[in-house]
Amino acid sequence: MSVKTNRESDVLRKIERAFRPQRAGANSSLRVSIGDDAALVRLDSNNEEILTCDWFLESTHFIRDKHPADSIGWKCLARAVSDVAAMGGWPKCFLLSLALPESHTGQWLDQFLGGLRRVSRKLKCPLAGGDTTRRDEILINITVVGAVARGRAVLRSGARPDDIIYVSGSLGEAEAGLRKVRSAQGRVNPKAAELKKHLYPVPRLELGQWLAEKRIASAMMDLSDGLSSDLPRLCEASGVGAKIAAALLPLPKSSSGLERKQSDLLQLALHGGDDYELLFTASRERAKKVPRNFRGLALTQIGEITSARKILLVEGIGQERKLVAGGWDPFRNAATKK
């Protein structure tokens, strides 16, 4: 009998179900596995290990003839490290799995490795190994190994009713950049300022570590698929709901020029993916310690956690409506089709 599923979360649930008896079993060093930004493994030391892997595939996550190879190299590692930032940890090393057409083993590969090496140095996350193979399409998979002080990892599941909800930076700029790339003829200029956040995202490692170390965040995740997709995940993991205010969202500062109206910018901020900002919650007491600005990065209160398990958006003068996920879901859309 064939069970039809059509969403990433359904596939994940199936995998989780298949391995549940085992994970609850003997191997107690696995503290968190499926269902958070990354896995946590207890080490024999003061630290826990963070494990995460990420697909980065032609046509799904980038467009071969439009995205600069240098930015593909940068972004594939940056977005994987973002999952480590989302736990409050730091990266230790990464593995690169790369499948390439013969035609891309020359200049393209050099530029790809150039971008990858720059971000690897910036994030202090050296290459530890990997696997290469030939393939008609460009396929990338990145595994990042990170660490976090024992007991300090911030999970998705810690949000409690009345906690304040925060986001770092601004939301929607990466999506605006993607639109610009899609509408471009041929490969875009990697130095264009309005594309920076889309092409060269920077994981919020310092912020994540600070929030974990000071025990300020009760729950945390990174925004990879868009607020309207990711906030429900955090709430589901925590068994809570949320109410956010449209007027509080940090809208894109730069945009593709295609969005003129305020409502377009709001849609970008709500549903745009690939920002790699941090979404976190803090109790009202701990929230007093959260500055408006952390080392140059804005931290914005966008709403609060509720006990009612709904995700509500407050618009205008207090009208509430259910927030419907419009962000990234690979089983629904892809970079080229969205």
CB of 262 to a copy of itself, least distance (A): 33
CB of 316 to a copy of itself, least distance (A): 37
CB-wise, 129 or 151, nearer to a copy of itself? Answer: 129
For every residue of 196-243, DSSP letters joined together read HHHHS----HHHHHHHHHTT--SEEEEESS-HHHHHHHHHHHHT-EEE
Q: Are strands 241-245 and 311-315 parallel, antiparallel or unpaired?
A: parallel
CB-wise, 155 or 323, nearer to a copy of itself? Answer: 155
Q: Is the CB of residue 212 less than 8 Å from the CB of residue 255?
A: no
CB of 268 to a copy of itself, least distance (A): 23
DSSP at 81: H
- The secondary structure element, H or E, covering residue 118 is helix 107-122
| Alpha carbons 10 and 271: distance in angstroms, whole number | 21
CB-wise, 22 or 263, nearer to a copy of itself? Answer: 22
CB-wise, 44 or 65, nearer to a copy of itself? Answer: 44
CB-wise, 232 or 303, nearer to a copy of itself? Answer: 232
Bridge partners of 90, per DSSP, are 147
CB of 241 to a copy of itself, least distance (A): 26
| Alpha carbons 243 and 304: distance in angstroms, whole number | 6
CB of 64 to a copy of itself, least distance (A): 15
| Alpha carbons 81 and 104: distance in angstroms, whole number | 25
